Amino acid sequence: MSQQSPLRRQNNIQVALDRSEAVTWRGRGIVIDLFRFSNTICALLESGRRDVRVYASPAMALAARLRIAGADIFSEIDLGPGVDKYDNSPYTALHGSDPSRPALSVTNSGSPAAASLLLAEEVLVACFANFPALAAYCLADPKPTLIVPACLFYDSRHVEDLICARALVEELAGRDVFERALQEIHASGRVLDFMAGRPETGRRDLDLALKRGYMKAVPRIKFKAGAGLVDNAAEKKGGR
């Protein structure tokens, strides 16, 4: 039998359909906010950022920036007058910012989704860009897994998160359904919606978000005193 069979045989991979499932989950949690948060967090690690933190609310992120010298905020949220920040943009995170500075992420859906998994044994971040690396990491250490589409925490019409979550279930079973998932996302109209609302980096962000396997980072988030500290689980594993 293939190496994927134990994970499938235990039937322990689920996709959350309600916020409450994430809040009470105690196994491995995987957050997917496909168009922005997931790719931005991966891109920050890929760019060489060593200090990446996730916050559930703008107030927490702003308070943290007062304490952390030289920190950049990545967010699509209006954080108030005079607040200097980067957009929640994967392209900017990868190519348009200083990787030597701490990065703080607070978003509408991705960061609250991650913060909801406080009881989880482990919290990872997934997107098409890191599918192969994430699957390899998970299959090397199978655990009961809940995949959390971040749209549950903001706007259920952002169906790309759910489509990607279902594709990840297949990826973990050794089946590549990326092209089919990509077609479903385009058919949903969400690509055009996203680009219409993001004239500056929308196309470049989507070029990254809808590409499979080009990032090797497996972001892992550990919450401590309200801050989600991010490391690269694949890097740590490789270093042991």
Question: Of 198, 55, 49, 45, nearest to 129 (Cα)?
Answer: 45
Residue 60 lies in a domain: yes
CATH of the domain at 101: 3.90.1560.10
Predicted local distance difference test score (pLDDT) of residue 6? 42
Q: Is the pLDDT of residue 59 over 50?
A: yes
Task: Tell whether 175 is covered by a domain.
Answer: yes
Q: Is 195 helix (H, G, I), strand (E, B) or coil?
A: helix
For residue 46, being part of any structural domain is answered with yes
Tell me if 240 is assigned to some domain. Answer: no
The pTM is what?
Answer: 0.93
Q: What whole-number percentage of the chain has pLDDT above 90?
A: 89
The domain total for the chain is: 1
Nearest-5° angle of CA 190, CA 201, CA 223?
80
Question: Per residue in 92-140, pLDDT tens?
Answer: 999 999 999 999 999 999 999 999 999 999 999 999 999 999 999 999 9
pLDDT, tens digit, for every residue of 166-189? 999 999 999 999 999 999 999 999
Domain that holds residue 41: 5-233
pLDDT digits (tens, 9 = 90+) for 9-32: 445 999 999 999 999 999 999 999
Whether the CB-CB separation of 54 and 221 falls below 8 Å is answered with yes
The pLDDT tens digits for 211-223 are 999 999 999 999 9
Is 128 part of a structural domain of the chain? yes
* Cα 196–Cα 197–Cα 200 angle in degrees, nearest 5: 90
In a domain, 97, yes or no: yes
Residue 168 lies in a domain: yes
Residues 158 and 150: their CA atoms lie apart, in Å, by 9
Residue 238 lies in a domain: no
